[in-house]
Amino acid sequence: MSTGKRLAKRSIIGTRVAALGDDGLYYSGMIQAVKTPAPFPENNNCINLTPNTRYTVRFDGGKSAREYRDAELIGPGFRGMAGVKLQPAQRVFLTYNGREVRADVLAHDHLTDELCVQVHAPAIEVSTYIHNTHDPQL
């Protein structure tokens, strides 16, 4: 019998996700807890997930934690970037000249799926258009 407090391999706790903040921008964070409503037990290692399951996300940088439904999260095991409308000033990370770089959204035309960003790379700061918003990682 194991006495360690190691999480099960299938546990979603610790998964990195992006979630919408109060200001309409997405922020990165980590799932800290999973709350499944009755009749399922609280500590079920995410086996009995329901549409009413809530995920507590603690944001990076010491920001507060908040609860979300699975449809509100972006990341592995949740939704992807398809259908997400990014706001100006949203921070994204994308591959530019073969390197992952930080960029800020200047404009997002949701209908044509075009994203205009300002890339912040070492020794370079340019504005560029990205035509596929499915690749940026938050």
Complete DSSP assignment for 13-51: TT-EEEEE-TTS-EEEEEEEEEE--TTS-S-STTSS--T
- Residue where a domain stops, chosen among 26, 51, 74: 74
In a domain, 98, yes or no: yes
Burial class (CB in 10 A: 0-12, 13-18, 19+), 130: buried
CA dihedral 53→87→99→120, nearest 10 degrees, is -130
Q: What is the pTM of this model?
A: 0.69
Contact 57, 35 (CB under 8 A): no
> By residue range, what is the domain housing residue 102?
81-138
In a domain, 131, yes or no: yes
- Do 102 and 67 lie in a common domain? no
For the chain, 138 residues long, give each residue's pLDDT as a single digit of tens: 445 555 455 678 999 999 999 889 999 999 999 988 766 555 545 555 667 889 999 999 877 889 999 999 999 889 988 888 999 999 988 888 888 888 999 999 988 889 899 998 666 555 566 666 555 554
CA dihedral 102→12→74→100, nearest 10 degrees, is 20
- Do 26 and 67 lie in a common domain? yes
pLDDT value, residue 90: 94
pLDDT value, residue 16: 92
pLDDT value, residue 94: 86
